[in-house]
Amino acid sequence: MADEHNVPQDDNLTVDPDQVAGEMADVEAAITTETENVPQPEVSKTETELTELKDKYLRLAAEFDNYKRRTAKERSELFKSANQELMSVLLPVLDDFERARTHTQQSEDVQVVRESVDIIYNKLVKTLQQKGLTPMETKGGGFDSDLHEAIIQIPAPSEELKGKVVDEVEKGYYLGDKVIRHAKVVLGQ
């Protein structure tokens, strides 16, 4: 049977376990030394960092795109709801105009028509003021290019109106603290 495996039969063959363990330790040390001397490529570390940075960049870009889409949608909805709110508060004024037109069609009394228009005008002004609209006071004041648009200069009717607003052609308005329409004024020179 020994011939089958080609293992020589030697009865004098003895194995010293300490010697085998020592030889194994020497072999392991030689393998470790050789693998330590082989330069490890830095490319794998750099590639890993690059992959991580690309991933972070892509995630950040996706987050930013989502943010832009979300804020654009919110802004659009805000404009729609703001317009809806304004229209809702103006509908009673529109109703008053319709009633005034109906009741004054047959009337030839100018005073009745004037009173109807004044009532509706005052209601409209009050409604707009509740929403933050404020008219500018310009007559007799100094010219301010941030608030006024000079359309013409005329000789000042008095010495104190030189360089000041003599007349207002079109009223200017604030919405809150922001100018939403500049006043068109006539300047005295």
Could you tell me how far CA 179 lies from the centroid of its own chain?
Answer: 22
* Interval 52-69: pLDDT, tens: 999 999 999 999 999 999
40-76 burial string, b = 16+ CB within 10 Å, else e?
Answer: eeeeeeeeeeeeeeeeeeeeeeeeeeeeeeeeeeeee
Domains of the chain, each with CATH number or no CATH: 41-131 (3.90.20.20), 134-189 (2.30.22.10)
* Interval 121-154: pLDDT, tens: 999 999 999 999 999 999 888 899 899 999 999 9
Contact 156, 150 (CB under 8 A): no
* Interval 153-173: pLDDT, tens: 999 888 888 889 999 999 999
Residue 34 pLDDT = 60
Distance CA 157, CA 188 (A): 7
